[in-house]
Amino acid sequence: MATPLDASVTDLPDRLCTWCRVPMKKRLVGGRQFVHYTCPKCVFQHTTRLGPKPAPAKH
């Protein structure tokens, strides 16, 4: 509880690089609503949204 930021990052699901098949580094971005994955071996990057999706804009 002393380090909520680190705990959040640690709690994030791992993602393997599409090509290297190695665990990618995780970093919270966009006000901690997105996870930015970066591969330590290549330049592949991936960003995914955290939490519930925003309500769809229906009319």
Interface residue list for Zn ion (CB under 5 A): 17, 19-20, 39, 41-42, 44
CA torsion, points 37, 12, 52, 39, in degrees to nearest 10?
10
Question: Which is closer to Zn ion, CB of 7 or CB of 16?
Answer: 16
Least CB distance to Zn ion at residue 21 (A): 8
Which residues, including other chains, have CB under 8 Å from residue 34's CB and lie 6 or more apart? Answer: 28, 47, 48, 49, 50
7/20 with CB nearer Zn ion: 20
| Beta-bridge partner residues of 16 | 23
Query: Of the two residues 30 and 40, which places its CB atom closer to Zn ion in the complex?
Result: 40
